[in-house]
Each structure stands twice: as structure tokens, then as C-alpha cells.
A and B are shown apart, each in its own frame.
Chain A
Amino acid sequence: MKRWDLRRVLPMIIAPIAALVLAALVSSAALLISGKDPLEAFSAMFDYAFGPNSGPDVTTEILNKATPYYLAALAVAIGFRMGLFNIGVDGQSRLGILAAGALGAASFLGVVPGPLRVVIMIIVAMAVGAAWAAVAALLKVYRGVSEVISTIMLNFIGGAIFAYLLTTERLGVKAVGGEIVSTPLLKSDSWIPGMSLFAGTANKMFGFAFVAIACGIAYWFLVGRTRFGFDLRATGLNPSAAVASGVSPKRMVIATMLLSGGVAGLVALPEVLGRDHAVTTSTPALGFTGIAIALLGRNNPVGIALAALLWAFLDVSNLPLDLLDIPKEIVTIMQGVTVLAVVVAYELAARVGRRQQQRSVGAATGEAAIVTLGIPAAIAAKLGVEAVSAPVEPPDSTAPTDPTVPGKHREEQS
């Protein structure tokens, strides 16, 4: 069992709050410099998002915005946990959703019952996203191409393929009088109904949000509670140690990229299944947003959820700022500062935590020395430790076990 060490946990809770406060201060300073009232800006944002007039509608909107953000960040986080930088979520999600949207509306699938078609769409979106990520994975494994470079480039290629396919000559159609191309409208039996959360608005929360939550739980289980997840984290923390413990790095790279790409394929599904019912050119891809949110959420499934909600809040609630003559770019400053500050704050918190831990380990070993070596109490008192009679438990078991010991990790995970 993990022991909750307050001295280690507390800095980790304070860090994000401090980062948010810092971000608010920096954006307030920017507003003050440009002669605007920061309080007016923040209260306008809060009022728009949660106030009695627009609140019900806009809060739902924020949740709906956060759902694809969450999925995009999860996709990125899977890679992060083993030290892989999947910047290609953008391309993976676009190709995935295009394939799913086109197939879901295809006439030859018309006989298939709606719910089954939804399942097919989800599988296809994941498969295509994973396949696109596999290109980068294979390049890395067999040719040593950095996934940072290859995934960025694949974003452009994916975008171009998307643009090529989504035209009226190929997969796209155009509504009467419309200018914008989309895939054909999905049949209404394969729409995922929304949920009314608040009275006073017709806006509904995406039903797909539950799939996103399920993905978060699956991510937590996979990374934290399985052999695969342990190998993944071990490889991320110390690749050579992981190799020594019998982990195949090639297998891990491919499996992780496939998973990451698969989740990336889901990114646009909440909106396509729940609201737009067609893949349009404004269907979001969100690769870079996902990276920022994963960083902000520290790759933790709950942390990412909070980060996605914060990001969505900022993105949605900046709308009325223009009406008050306040540049809404202030929100972009805030998002940037928050991510930077969180990264710095967590590094500081980790250092503080480590120092605390070292201190307590030092004290514990000191105590152990007194017990086992029989150091006289007088000397012990001089050393500043209290003599104890029983051996002390190691103070912290949350750090991964030394992965250089082969076979040991299996028991540790149970």
C-alpha cells in the first residue's frame, strides 16, 4: 500500500494553485499595462460562464469543449509516460475522424443498426489514428527517426490527405447554398444523444463524454495497474534500466504509439456524433492543445481532466471580452503562463519533496544504525536522532522499484 506522505504530497497540491495564481497575476499585469481593469475582465468571464443568464448554456458549452480536449491530452500523455513525444495527434485525429465520418455515412453500411455503426465508427477512427501513428513508430524503431520530427511532418501530410479527400469529387458533399464541404450527414440512428444538465438551456452535454471518462479510467488502469503500464513508466524514467529488466524498447515504442494514435483518433468523435453529425473542415484536431493540457495535468488522468476544464473555460469564456474592449488575447497569455508556471512549479515541488524524502530517509537510516549497530544512546542523542527499538519501514514506496532487478517488478505491481 502507498503511504500518503503529506510532506511529499502537499507541494504537489500547492504547485498548480501557485501556477494559476501566477498566471492570473501576469495577465492582470498585462491588462493593467494596457489600461484595462483585470477585475472587470475576470468577472465578465466568470459571469458569462457561470452567471444566471448565460451560465447554464455556457457551462454546458465548456464541458463539451473539454471533452475533445481531454481525449487529445490523454493521447499525448500516453506517449509522455514513456518519454515519447507524439506531436502528431493533430494528423492522427483528422485522418481518423474523416475515415470514421465517411464510413459512418456510407450507404453500404445503411442496413447496419445505428448503435453498431457507432461502434464501427469508433473502431475505425482508432484504427486509422493508430495506423498513422504507426508510421512514426516504425520510422523510429527501424530507422532511428525521432518521433518529434516525424509526427510533426506527418501532421502536414495528414492535413493534405484530409484536404484532398474532403472535396466534393471524393468523400465530401455540399449542402444547398452552402460553401463548406463536409462528409454526408450521419443517419439519426447513429447520433449519440446529449444530456441536459441545467434548466434554462437547450444545450446538452455530449453523450460521448462518458466514453472520454471511460478512456481516462482505462488510462489510469493501464498505466498504473498493469505490467504493460509498469514497463511503460519504467522505460520513460530510465530506458537503459528498463532494457536491463527485460523490456523490449522496440515493442514498447510501437505499442505506445499505436495506443496514443488510437486515442487521438477519438478526439473529434464527441462533436461529430453528438452535434455536427458530419465531418466538416472546422472539425477540431487539437494536437497542440492536447500537449499543453497533458503538461498542465501532469499526465495524471484526474489532473488532465481538471486542466481540460480550465482550458475549455478560458477558451469559451473569453468571448464577451471584446465587447468590453478588452483584448481577448489575454486568455492566450494566461494559458501560456499557466503551462510554463506549472512545469516550473512542479519541478520546484519535486525538489522540495525529494529533499524532504532524503531527510526522512537519512533520519530513518540513522535510527536503523542505532538499532542494528548498537550505537549508544548518548552518541545517538548527539547525532540528533531518537533511539527506537523497531526497524523502520522504508519511508516511501511510491518511487518505482529499481527496475534493474529483473522479474522483481511483477510482485511490486500486485
Chain B
Amino acid sequence: MAGAAIVALGMTACGDNGGGATPTATKKTVKVGLAYDIGGRGDKSFNDAAAAGLEKAKTDLNIEANELEAGATETEQDKYNRLKLLCQGGFNPVIAVGFVYAGVDPANGPVAKAAADCPNTKFAIIDSVVDKPNVASLVFAEEQGSYLVGAAAALKSTTGRIGFVGGCKVDLIAKFEAGYIAGAKAAKPDIKVDVNYLSTPADRCSGFNDPAKGKTAAEGLYDAGADVVYQAAGGSGVGVFQAAKAKGKKAIGVDSDQYNTVDPALKDVIITSMLKRVDTAVFDFVKSMGEDKFAAGVQVFDLKKEGVGYSTTGGFVDDIKTQLDDYKAKIIAGTITVPTKP
């Protein structure tokens, strides 16, 4: 996927050209190692958002990076080994994409153990909090973005019924659900929201990477009367869009601006996407490393920081944009507090 990865960050002339050049003080070599979640690159959603951030870092900051994919049936130990391989192989920073890398017990999971093995390597984990001096935890206020698309779904619904498809029954996805329902009720108090989760952690959250299951679940929701379905199901989301297309209904994307990432034939069912700027988080993190500004601890990417939001590509929500932006302003101002649990 990528070649060797030693790159100079910052503007620097290459050594001595003519003897007059002085070496720039900001020159710094950075090798970025990135480990994907289940589903990996090509899920058109969560992992691809991380990949986009890394690509941007590669071009804008002129760095190269190495990426490793996760296997579907691997154990926590396999994840730990992957991170260890990266950090012991000289990659710094190492970015772990997804809560699975935090493990069962974040205090003693794959990232925590690898961070202890490589105390001089800086780590970042996305979507989970790992409390170590060399780990930055990049988390998102998904409920805030979901609130906005929930309002959009309710305003666009003609049947008074909307749906939600979650990839896996974990607290993280419950944040999407909670925000979505709260937003929908705020826009239309009598709206009905049907919820369907595709998997549980016990079946390894297979629902993040099972488009067929996503399709079946969405068909069920549409048949029950919903006309807009929001999916927070990673790679399974494509199935939700296919169901929407087949039934002539609408859907809402997640993480990436999915209007741009899906098969062109499915574009017109996506009225908006809840943007979770994993790309921004990855890019900013790599950039801060280049500038020697690593900060351990939790960084929350919310509406205020534009870490979450909604997309307008396709123009389906242009008519309600003022209402949505009004909610957005209120959330940023703190007059609306979005719940994180349904």
C-alpha cells in the first residue's frame, strides 16, 4: 500500500547546495504508521475518512506513510502486535483507527500496551480514550452532527416515520442514535424513529462490514413506513443505500460525505451525510507531530471545531439549511445540549 516512509517535514533545502545554504532548524523526519479498523480501506466511510486525512498529509505535508489493515477474525493480541510492529519499526507517530484498538480494557488494551512498549513513540487513537502520557485520544461529538441530520430527516420525511441503522450495539454508535432521535424530535415532536442494530460486539461487530445485512435491515425499516434512514454502519452502509434506491426512498450517510464516495448510481438517495471529520483529526495530528506539538490526552472534535457536521452536496437539504444552521448555532452556543445515550 505504501513504500518506505522517511520524509522531511517543513520547507528545507536538501543539505548543501553551493555551500551557502544553512540547514533549517525545523527539519524533522516523520514516519507515520496507521492501523485500520475492521472493514479497512474501501469502506467508503469511517476508514476511508482516515485514509483521506492521511492522503492529504502525504500531499500537503509531503510525507509518506505506511498503512496496515486489520483482519476480520483477529484477536486483541493481533492488534497489539500490529501496533508494536509499527512502533518498534521506527514509525512515529502511530495512529490506531477505531475503538477496537482500545481493547476490552482501555487501560490495558492494544494501544495501552504498545504505548508502554514504545514510550518514545507518540500514539493517537480515534474514537476511544486511552490514558497514557504518549497517547492522544481523538474523539468526536457524533451526537451533535447526528442531531443535525436527525432534524434533516424529520423535516424531509413525509410519512412521519424515519429509521436508524447502527453497525454494532456499542456506546459509540448509541451516540449517533441518541443525537439523531433528539434532533428529529426537536424538528418534529411527533416523529417516529425505528432503530435497528446489525450486530453486537459478541459477533465481532460484523455489522460494520456486511452490506447485505445493512440492506435487509433497511428494507425492513422502509417497509415499516420509514422514508428516510440514517446509517451509522461503516461498510454496511452501502447496503442501506441500495435498499433506499430499490424502494425509492432516501438515506443519510455517515462519516465521509458519502454523496461523493459511493457508486454514482446511489448518489441521489443520499440527502445528506453526518460528517465526522476523521480526516481532519488525522491530518491535524500528523501536522502537529511535524511541528513538535504533540499533546497527550483527550481532544474532542465537535461542531465548534468543525470536527462533525452535515454535508450539503447534492443540494437535497438546501431548502432547510437555515433551520439546520440555526440548530447548529444553538448547539455551539450551548443552548441545546445533545444527549449521548438514547
Tell me the A residues contacting B by CB distance below 8 Å.
Answer: 48, 53-54, 61, 64, 159, 162-167, 172, 175-182, 271, 275-276, 278, 280-284, 316, 319-320, 322-323, 325
Interface pairs (22), CB distance under 8 Å: A159-B203, A163-B200, A163-B203, A164-B202, A166-B202, A175-B104, A176-B106, A177-B106, A178-B102, A179-B102, A179-B128, A180-B99, A180-B100, A180-B103, A182-B104, A276-B76, A280-B104, A281-B202, A284-B73, A322-B68, A323-B66, A325-B2
A179-B102, A271-B75, A280-B76 given; name 7 further pairs at CB < 8 Å. Answer: A61-B81, A165-B202, A166-B200, A179-B100, A180-B104, A180-B201, A181-B200
B82 interface hit (Cβ, 8 Å): yes
Contacts of A278 in B (CB 8 A): 104
- Shortest A225–chain B CB gap in Å is 36
Contact B106 A178 (CB under 8 A): yes
How far is B3's CA from A37's CA once the two chains are assembled, in angstroms?
14
The chain B residue sitting closest to A325, CB to CB, is: B3
Q: Scoring B residues 289 to 330 as 1 if CB is less than 8 Å from chain A, else 0, what string do you get?
A: 000000000000000000000000000000000000000000
- Shortest B235–chain A CB gap in Å is 18
Inter-chain CB contacts under 8 Å: number: 95
B interface, by DSSP: helix, strand, loop or mixed?
loop
Contacts of A271 in B (CB 8 A): 75, 77
Pick the residue among B66, B75, B172 that contacts A179 (CB under 8 A): B172
The chain A residue sitting closest to B169, CB to CB, is: A167
- Shortest A326–chain B CB gap in Å is 10
Contact B128 A175 (CB under 8 A): no
Contact B67 A179 (CB under 8 A): no
- Shortest B131–chain A CB gap in Å is 8
How far is B237's CA from A131's CA once the two chains are assembled, in angstroms?
39
B28 interface hit (Cβ, 8 Å): no
Known: A282-B76, A316-B81, A325-B1. A178 touches B103 (CB 8 A): yes
Cβ < 8 Å to A, chain B residues 1-36 = 1-3
Q: Scoring B residues 55 to 76 as 1 if CB is less than 8 Å from chain A, else 0, what string do you get?
A: 0000000000011110001111
Contacts of B106 in A (CB 8 A): 175-178
Contact B77 A281 (CB under 8 A): no
Contact A284 B75 (CB under 8 A): yes
Cβ < 8 Å to A, chain B residues 95-122 = 99-100, 102-107, 109
How far is B129's CA from A54's CA once the two chains are assembled, in angstroms?
29
The chain B residue sitting closest to A185, CB to CB, is: B105
Contacts of A175 in B (CB 8 A): 104-107
How far is B4's CA from A325's CA once the two chains are assembled, in angstroms?
9
Cβ < 8 Å to A, chain B residues 163-221 = 170-172, 200-205
Closest 3 CB pairs of A and B: A163-B202, A175-B105, A166-B202
The chain B residue sitting closest to A173, CB to CB, is: B104
